[in-house]
């Protein structure tokens, strides 16, 4: 069994895989990494490997403390990925974006793919059918947009994510919901249209903490897979790392 760890900007996600099947998944804060991982290692004695993708500075000491129990593999830029990286600054490309792109190549061979990760940030990653990673975009995520409106103004309240009633916001609250949520929906629909202009056919993968919420509101029929990064970590492990 494999324990996949996705250390995102806001929270950490962990999942246990038996071959291609996810057995369990948990969310926790960075401060609870050690105790939460040990809980899983104790509950699933067959876990032999732990694969970690992190965009944050995790305590190396914490990670190394698991070494006696499992083989710890921290994904880095020097690992082998199933695409050629055409980013102009490949070493600054986020590890999460690299893992998602690798997962897209492995799960959807021989086609153009657009990965949209709606998390703390919204990232767009495009990998063409020749398995060349071209790049994409980074914009603020939904929670970040609500927080920024509140933090950088005197009058705007901090609101929780909610579906806008209409594109015309008829109150301060409705204006904020429309601006943030419809703004993101139009952004995604707009990016998809731009890509469609250059690439008539491509597979869209929508993931991240806001994926399910957004899928309901997008014009395009896009299915959300909230676990795509964890599944990609498992995929990378099964198909590449294990044989290294």
Ligand X SMILES: Nc1ncnc2c1ncn2[C@@H]1O[C@H](COP(=O)(O)OP(=O)(O)OP(=O)(O)O)[C@@H](O)[C@H]1O
Q: Which is nearer to ligand PAU, 40 or 98 (CB)?
A: 98
Query: From the list ligand PAU, K ion, ligand X, none, which binds 142 (C-beta under 5 to 8 Å, kind-based)?
Result: ligand X
DSSP state of 24: E
What is the phi/psi pair of residue 64, to 5°?
-70, -25
CB distance 5 to 37 below 8 Å: yes
Q: Would you say 208 is a known binding-site residue? A: no
Q: Spell 213-224 as b/e; 16+ CB within 10 A means b.
A: bbbeebeeebeb
Structure tokens at 229: 């990064």
CB of 232 to ligand X, least distance (A): 12
Structure tokens at 40: 């899983």
Size of the site for ligand X (CB under 6 A): 16
Q: Is 210 in the site for ligand X (CB under 6 A)?
A: yes
Rg over CA atoms, the chain: 19
Q: Would you say 10 is a known binding-site residue? A: yes
Query: From the list K ion, ligand X, ligand PAU, none, which binds 138 (C-beta under 5 to 8 Å, kind-based)?
Result: ligand PAU
Q: Which is nearer to ligand X, 96 or 231 (CB)?
A: 96
Query: Site for ligand X (CB under 6 A): which residue of 39, 69, 150, 161?
Result: 161
Site for ligand X in 86-125 (CB under 6 A): 96, 119-121
What positions carry a catalytic annotation? 96
Stretch that binds ligand X, among 33-41, 98-106, 137-145, 175-183 (CB under 6 A): 137-145
Q: Which is nearer to ligand X, 164 or 208 (CB)?
A: 208
81: Cβ contacts below 8 Å, ≥ 6 apart: 98, 101, 102, 133
Q: Which is nearer to ligand PAU, 96 or 231 (CB)?
A: 96
Task: Determine the Cα–Cα distance for residues 140 and 19; give it in Å rounded to an integer.
Answer: 34
Q: Dihedral sign for Cα 14, 16, 17, 22, please.
A: negative
Q: Would you say 169 is a known binding-site residue? A: no
Q: Would you say 11 is a known binding-site residue? A: yes
179: Cβ contacts below 8 Å, ≥ 6 apart: 145, 149, 169
174: Cβ contacts below 8 Å, ≥ 6 apart: 164, 165, 166
Q: Is 11 in the site for ligand X (CB under 6 A)?
A: yes
Locus of tokens 């070494």: 67
Binding-site residue ranges for substrate: 87, 94-97, 172
Binding-site residue ranges: 6-13, 87, 94-97, 117, 120, 172
Binding-site residue ranges for ATP: 6-13, 120
Q: What are the residues binding ligand X (CB under 6 A)?
A: 8-11, 55, 96, 119-121, 141-143, 161, 208-210
């Amino acid at each position: 069994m494999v324990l996949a760890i996705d250390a995102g900007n806001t929270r950490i996600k962990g999942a246990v895989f038996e071959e291609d099947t996810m057995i369990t998944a948990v969310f926790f804060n960075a401060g609870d990494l050690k105790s939460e991982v040990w809980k899983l290692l104790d509950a699933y004695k067959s876990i032999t490997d732990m694969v970690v993708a992190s965009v944050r500075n995790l305590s190396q000491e914490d990670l190394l403390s698991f070494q006696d129990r499992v083989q710890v593999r921290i994904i880095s830029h020097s690992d082998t990925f199933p695409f050629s990286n055409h980013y102009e600054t490949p070493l600054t490309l986020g590890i999460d974006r690299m893992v998602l792109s690798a997962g897209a190549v492995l799960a959807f061979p021989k086609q153009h793919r657009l990965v949209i990760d709606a998390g703390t940030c919204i990232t767009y990653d495009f990998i063409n059918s020749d398995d060349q990673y071209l790049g994409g975009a980074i914009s603020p995520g939904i929670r970040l947009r609500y927080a920024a409106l509140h933090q950088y103004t005197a009058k705007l309240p901090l609101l929780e994510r909610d579906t806008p009633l209409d594109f015309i916001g008829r109150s301060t609250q409705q204006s904020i919901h429309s601006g943030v949520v419809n703004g993101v929906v139009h952004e995604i629909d707009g990016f998809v249209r731009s890509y469609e202009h250059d690439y008539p056919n491509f597979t869209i993968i929508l993931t991240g903490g806001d994926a399910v919420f957004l899928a309901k509101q997008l014009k395009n029929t896009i299915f959300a897979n909230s676990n795509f990064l964890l599944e990609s970590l498992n995929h990378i492990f099964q198909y590449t790392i294990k044989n290294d």
